[in-house]
Amino acid sequence: MRCVPELVPIDLHFRGLERAVGCYLIETEAGLALHDCGPTTTIPALKEGLAARGVALQEIDNLLLSHIHLDHGGAAGALVREHPGLQVWVSEIGAPHLLDPTRLERSARRLYGDDLDFWFGELAPVPERNVAVVGDHVLGLDCFATPGHASHHVTYFDPRDGTAYTGDTAGIRILPARYVAPISPPPDIDLDAWHRSLDAIELRGPKRLALTHFGVVTDVWSHLERMRRELFLWATRVRAGSDEEEFVAAAFESIEDEDDETKAAFDNTEAFAQSYLGLRRYWDKLEQRTSSQDEHSGDPDQTRS
């Protein structure tokens, strides 16, 4: 018997951790959909979670990707190979990387090195016939761009119950913990865009935020405010000259009062160290652009002989 319960994430037990990566089963006007799917290594846990709800993979009609980072969409190709009728929805920017994940894999290997295959598994291409580019509305859900964490990130909003499926844009919060972490890995962090994306989510007046990492937020306004503050704090630390070790130590100090599972979820995923690298890259690129503009912004009248 199929039972789609009150909104609760399917725990994918990524890297053997509780409450690290999840996905959501959604009843849409076009049948069942899955929001995010995790990496290929978590497919067994995904199937177990679906079975607990009386659902088989082949009953899922659509996969709604927030973005194509491997912990969110890495299993898409493998799932389509097993279930050829699965339609994968993704942003226009992300779509080419589903069709040919070569560049995506190369970028991920720079972050994870030899651990990539062990933790994430195969990164299989998705056939073109199975890739659909999102518009303003998808399967009865509103959809809008929310870059910042990633240039290709989108958020889905269900107007029926006020749930916003925010991927990583609203940060990571291992509920019931209160701490919100603005995880910010390379390569395309954009702080200005990220703050605008948080505004765009807030303007929809969501009643709940469904976080991939991990759980359903009901204290929406205070959560978003904490997210904004922490994003500003992290960015300021890096700009002020903190090195990676100092940055990571300060981040861990922020969760020292949280439970052991929350600490483990961060301690075993290199999230803080990668965030330092992403923010450092952001500030370095911004400085390079500013320097380049300064070099070419001289008044022509001042250069005449």
At 76, is the secondary structure helix, strand, or coil?
A: helix
Question: How does pLDDT run across 117-162, given as a tens digit for each residue?
Answer: 888 999 999 999 999 999 999 999 999 999 999 999 999 999 999 9
CA dihedral 296, 297, 298, 301 (to 10 degrees): 110
Quick one: angle between helices 191-203 and 220-239, nearest 10? 170
Q: CATH classification of 10-288 is 3.90.226.10, yes or no? A: no
Q: Alpha-carbon distance 24 to 230, whole Å?
A: 26
Domain range summary for the chain, segments of one domain joined by +: 10-288
- Indicate the pLDDT class of residue 303, thresholds 50, 70 and 90: very low
Entry pTM: 0.89
Q: Is the pLDDT reported for residue 215 higher than 70? A: yes
- Indicate the pLDDT class of residue 40, thresholds 50, 70 and 90: very high
Question: How does pLDDT run across 272-301, given as a tens digit for each residue?
Answer: 889 999 999 999 998 887 776 655 555 444
Q: Alpha-carbon distance 34 to 26, whole Å?
A: 6
User: What pLDDT score does 295 carry?
Assistant: 59
**Alpha helix stretches (DSSP H) within the chain:** 43-52, 70-73, 76-82, 95-99, 102-112, 115-120, 191-203, 220-239, 244-254, 260-267, 271-295
